[in-house]
Structure 1
Amino acid sequence: MTMTASRATGHPGYSETLLRRPESVAVARRLVRCALAAWGMEELADDGAVVVSELVTNAVQHARSEVIRLVVSRPGPATVRIGVVDKSKAPPRHRPPGNQDDSGRGLVLVAGLTAVWGSDPLPWGKRVWGELRRKDSR
């Protein structure tokens, strides 16, 4: 795990390179929970666990590299950003799932739990992210 200080808030950011495997979802959830606990923002832990699970699962299913990068940062005093970087340039597709579909609801969950989410193209891939905010800051 890597820690870097955020210029905006002075709080450390956390990141880790994970293998693109289903087992990495649990590792990602632990990292998000640890970061939120370190920042005293435990009330966001359940939503953060769901958001990171969906973002990492999408990268595991759709990226084409051996590894993905998880970044948990604090761009503001009441905001946490969870991002997953992979080497696929294909943007995430937000599609409504059918009633019988076993998958396809991940980005619907991310959109419902985050204040804002998005995808940033990178020269060699993309970053998909979502921001959680403390309830009392909205």
Structure 2
Amino acid sequence: MRRVPESAEAARTLVRTALAAWGQRDLIEDAALVITALVSNAVHHARLESIRVIVTRPSEKCVRLGVVDRSRNIPYLRTDSDGDNTRGRGLLLVDALTDRWGTDRYRWGKQVWGELTCD
């Protein structure tokens, strides 16, 4: 998908559709917030014009949401407070809403992902 702010809505639709198909409707709201934060980070920090959104179910107990981009810059969890600045808090949201999150590095870029536990 294109690396533009409007891509977050398409990503949310993909996540909602997958979770509904898997019978995980109770995860939809948190998952939508997580994918929005991940897409927002990629839109802001990635280099090329496109990103890839991934929604997988690595096990019956887990859903993984990820965003792949061509930037090798690894995101970090900001712990500082910047007053009224609303940027830079996405990973705090991801950290709060997921059971775990991380970054997989590739030779050409990375995937930032978060996992939510299913019922």
TM-score normalised by structure 1 residue count = 0.83
Structure 2, unmatched stretches of 5+, are: none
* 2:57 pairs with one of 74, 94, 98: 74
Q: Name the CA distance, whole Å, in 1 between partners of 2:38 and 2:86.
A: 16
Match of 1:5 in 2: none
**Local SS of the residue matching 2:51:** strand
Q: Which has the higher contact order (CA 8 A, sep 6+)?
A: 2
Structure 1 residue 34 corresponds to structure 2 residue 45: no
Q: Name the CA distance, whole Å, in 2 between partners of 1:78 and 1:55.
A: 21
Moved over 3 A (4+): none
Structure 1 residue 111 corresponds to structure 2 residue 95: yes
* 1:49 pairs with one of 13, 28, 32: 32
Higher fraction of strand: 1
Q: Name the CA distance, whole Å, in 2 between partners of 1:38 and 1:100.
A: 39
Q: Name the CA distance, whole Å, in 2 between partners of 1:132 and 1:29.
A: 15
Match of 1:6 in 2: none
- Between Structure 1 and Structure 2, how many residues are aligned? 118
Which AA in structure 1 matches 2:90? G
Q: Name the CA distance, whole Å, in 1 between partners of 2:29 and 2:21.
A: 15
Which AA in structure 1 matches 2:88? G
Match of 1:94 in 2: 77
Match of 1:62 in 2: 45
Identity across matched positions, percent? 53
Cα distance per residue 1:32-51 (max 9 Å; x no partner): 00000000001000000000
Q: Name the CA distance, whole Å, in 2 between partners of 1:114 and 1:102.
A: 20
Structure 1 residue 126 corresponds to structure 2 residue 116: no
Q: How far is the alpha carbon of 1:93 from its aligned partner?
A: 1.9
RMSD of aligned residue pairs (Cα, Å): 0.9
TM-score normalised by structure 2 residue count = 0.96
Match of 2:7 in 1: 24
